[in-house]
Structure 1
């Protein structure tokens, strides 16, 4: 499980930010116009976010197992959007 303080971020290019954890590749964020697209350590897309901070947090959140209450909340929110 990764915490925000476990990640070290480096700007690899003007539109690419790379995260490492304990010296190992943890994921990356690419900037595409106004969205920030985050990928995990296997280059699987996690999602698109409006800010770099939100994208970085999404990488941390993707490493945490979902709790039951959090999963129920997510389902309720998605059900309202339909």
Structure 2
């Protein structure tokens, strides 16, 4: 792994092809970090002074964080498949809106 490669979760027991929440990171510029998952673009983090701004794979802003580690974890959390319980809750909420 080169000095610009940064695993999103160093404690993850599975390689990238088995763990969908594992992101591979590359530093594209001094203030831009790009994430891929299974070779596909997953999102990026830009650094604006001391703020780290996270965007998903469609360049939608996820949020702002004070550290690169927190920003990277936010993208991991955003790309994690929803749990069955969360998905059921989402469906109930959407059904109530109809």
Q: TM-score if structure 2 supplies the norm length? A: 0.62
Higher helix share: 1
For the pair shown, the structure with the greater C-alpha radius of gyration is 2
Deviations 1:11-48 (Å, cap 9, x if unpaired)? Answer: 00000000001110000000001100000000000000
Match of 1:8 among 21, 24, 27: 24
Q: Could you list the runs of 5+ residues in structure 1 that have no partner in the other structure?
A: 72-82
Runs (4+) of structure 1 exceeding 6 A deviation are: none
Taking structure 1 as the reference length, the TM-score comes to 0.73
Consecutive unaligned residues of structure 2, counting only runs of 5 or more, are 1-18, 90-98
